[in-house]
Amino acid sequence: MNKFKYSLLILIGACSYGILSSIMKLGMHEGFTVNQMLGGQYVFGWTFLLILMLVFSRKKLTLKQWLSLLAVGITMSGTSIFYGKAVERLPASIAVVLLFQFTWIGVLLEAAADRRAPSKSKIVSIFILIAGTLLAGGIIGETSGVLNVAGVVFGLLSAFTFALYMFVSGRVETSVPAFNKSFIMTSGSGVIVLSVFSPSFLWDGSMGEGLWKYGIALGFLGILIPVVFFAIGMPKVGSGMGAILGAAELPAAVVASVFIAHEHVSGLQWLGIVLIFIGIAVPQIRFSGKKKQPLYEARENSA
């Protein structure tokens, strides 16, 4: 599997994340809370991964590997918890823009770890992505007044924990099979999330009232696909490039809001989506250009 295919896995995982908000809105219309649906997401996602691990990958891991991957799960749970707190205190457009600061944070984390400055193509990509996020998130023209300080802090923390999750997912226990790795990370994350948000939905009858169908959809799109695909792709493309590819989550969220939640999307938001895809493509185009140059020079020298 070449680098493009690994990048495609991360792109699909990010788009999968983007669909979650529209599914949650449908669930809220039926009377379910975000906490209930988030809990259902982890319960069903964890169950899916357990089944896949038992069927396809029964490799025994050391205690050190278990502890390392459980720790990675803490970064997963942090994103869910902090972003939920931000949405409670801020307009949705502001909260999503704060979350999407993970793009440049991820690039900086990689640069600091590797002690190497980000490439020019990544820097250009980040600026394009920030502009696209401001437009696609609907923040242009937002009249929010004075922002809640705690909400801003929670939003930035969600961005940092998401960038950190991408970073450690690509560097911690990369030799562990993807299903085992994803299951253990989700186990650590799920314990924390269900500790913060009450798991009462498991016994209060919510499942029988229809929560199960949202739990299945959210577990598949919010746990199974992105966690497994990130576990496979991140070690190959790097956390910096992974963060840039992860920006596809916002366009997916906007498109899903049109087709699933039947929301209106402005022309500026569509322009933002185009900019985000351009920002994602910039490092890929630059990479392709670098690959062609030696071949061209070789032909020149042989002529």
Q: Which pLDDT does position 221 carry in this prediction?
A: 92
CA distances from 269 to 100, 240, 252, 274, 278 (A): 15, 25, 12, 9, 14
Whether residue 291 lies inside any domain: the answer is yes
- Among 250, 240, 287, residue whose Cα is nearest residue 272: 250
Q: Which pLDDT does position 181 carry in this prediction?
A: 93
Chain-centroid distance of CA 294 in Å reads: 35
Task: List the structure tokens of 94.
Answer: 């502001």
Q: Which pLDDT does position 1 carry in this prediction?
A: 53
Q: Which pLDDT does position 292 carry in this prediction?
A: 45
* Residues 6+ positions from 161 with CB-CB distance below 8 Å: 75, 76, 78, 79, 82
Taking the C-alpha atoms of residue 81 and residue 197, their distance in angstroms, rounded to an integer, is: 9
Whether residue 110 lies inside any domain: the answer is yes
Taking the C-alpha atoms of residue 39 and residue 33, their distance in angstroms, rounded to an integer, is: 10
Whether residue 92 lies inside any domain: the answer is yes
The domain of 79 spans 60-198+231-302
Whether residue 212 lies inside any domain: the answer is no
Eight-state DSSP code of residue 201? G
pLDDT less than 70: residues of the chain: 1, 92-93, 139-147, 284-303
Instruction: Return the sign of the alpha-carbon dihedral for residues 49, 173, 12, 133.
Output: positive
The b-or-e profile of 19-51 (16+ CB within 10 A means b, else e) is bbbbbbbebeeeebbbbbbbbbbbbbbbbbbee
The structure tokens 């942090």 sit at: 78
Whether residue 109 lies inside any domain: the answer is yes
Whether residue 46 lies inside any domain: the answer is no
Whether residue 296 lies inside any domain: the answer is yes
* Residues 6+ positions from 220 with CB-CB distance below 8 Å: 44, 45, 48
Q: What is the per-residue pLDDT across 123-155, written as a single tens digit (0 to 9) for each?
A: 888 898 888 888 887 766 554 556 678 888 988
Q: Which pLDDT does position 111 carry in this prediction?
A: 87
The structure tokens 């009462």 sit at: 200
Q: Which pLDDT does position 303 carry in this prediction?
A: 44
Taking the C-alpha atoms of residue 69 and residue 60, their distance in angstroms, rounded to an integer, is: 14
Chain-centroid distance of CA 153 in Å reads: 19
CA distances from 251 to 117, 218, 256 (A): 28, 18, 8
The 3-class SS string of 80-122 reads HHHHHHHHHHCCHHHHHHHHCCHHHHHHHHHHHHHCCCCCHHH
Domain count, the chain: 1
Q: Which pLDDT does position 291 carry in this prediction?
A: 47
Q: Which pLDDT does position 285 carry in this prediction?
A: 67
Whether residue 239 lies inside any domain: the answer is yes
